[in-house]
């Protein structure tokens, strides 16, 4: 007999706990809750920092790409001049004024806005080492300069030409 009222009391207590637990669940509290001003300000600051870093990285990447393109074009200009000189005979190369000492080249000669202007010089000098055939060789240096924003940039290319070709002087 005592067991009946005791079980009833335990059942009521359990139901009371279930109701209390159901009222205090996070899902019901979250449905009626909102962000505080502090959370919004911190979130916006974090978002602004991430977007600022992203835009800075894009700017840096585009500048690096532009510099790489200009370097590549400078290398093409120097190689073009060297290949032109390579096609001349020894007598043409040593004739004063046959190969111009200065030149200009454009970044994009086919465009209406030619972009960067490359200015260059070709320097002829004796070979910098003492060998019996030094009078049969010449050192040629092609230097190209251009302006990128506020930066003055320069590239050099140095090689040798020989009267009878370099193949006769390599061991």
How does DSSP assign 120-137, residue by residue? EEEEEE--SS--TTGGGE
How high is the mean pLDDT of the chain?
82
Task: Provide the residue ranges of all domains of the chain, joining segments of one domain with +.
Answer: 30-168
Give the integer Cα–Cα distance in Å for 81 and 83.
6
Give residue-wise pLDDT tens across range 122-146.
999 999 989 888 888 899 999 999 9
Helix, strand, coil: what percent of the chain each, to 5?
50, 20, 25
Range with lowest mean pLDDT among 12-26, 84-98, 103-117: 12-26
pLDDT mean over 65-90:
90
> From CA 171, how far away is CA 161, in angstroms rounded?
16
Choose the most confident range, by mean pLDDT, from 20-24, 25-29, 118-122. Answer: 118-122
In angstroms, the CA 158 to CA 141 distance is 4
Better-scored residue on pLDDT, 17 or 149: 149
Alpha carbon of residue 9 to chain centroid: 77
End-to-end Cα, the chain, rounded Å: 118
Q: Which run of H or of E encompasses 155?
A: strand 151-162
Q: Please, which pLDDT band fits residue 12 given cuts at 50, 70 and 90?
A: low
Residue 2 pLDDT grade (very low, low, confident, very high; cuts 50, 70, 90): low
């Amino acid at each position: 007999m005592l067991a009946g009222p005791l079980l009833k009391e335990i059942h009521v207590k359990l139901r009371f706990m279930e109701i209390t637990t159901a009222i205090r669940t996070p899902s019901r509290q979250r449905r009626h809750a909102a962000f505080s001003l502090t959370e919004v300000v911190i979130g916006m600051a974090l978002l602004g920092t991430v977007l600022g870093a992203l835009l800075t990285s894009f700017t840096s990447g585009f500048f690096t790409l532009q510099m790489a393109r200009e370097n590549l074009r400078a290398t093409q200009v120097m190689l073009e001049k060297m290949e032109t000189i390579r096609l001349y005979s020894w007598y043409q190369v040593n004739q004063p004024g046959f190969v111009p000492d200065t030149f200009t080249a454009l970044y994009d000669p086919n465009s209406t806005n030619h972009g960067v202007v490359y200015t260059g010089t070709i320097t002829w000098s004796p070979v910098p080492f003492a060998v019996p055939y030094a009078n049969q060789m010449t050192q040629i240096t092609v230097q190209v300069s251009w302006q990128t924003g506020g930066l003055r940039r320069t590239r050099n290319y140095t090689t040798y030409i020989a009267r009878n070709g370099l193949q006769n002087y390599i061991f």
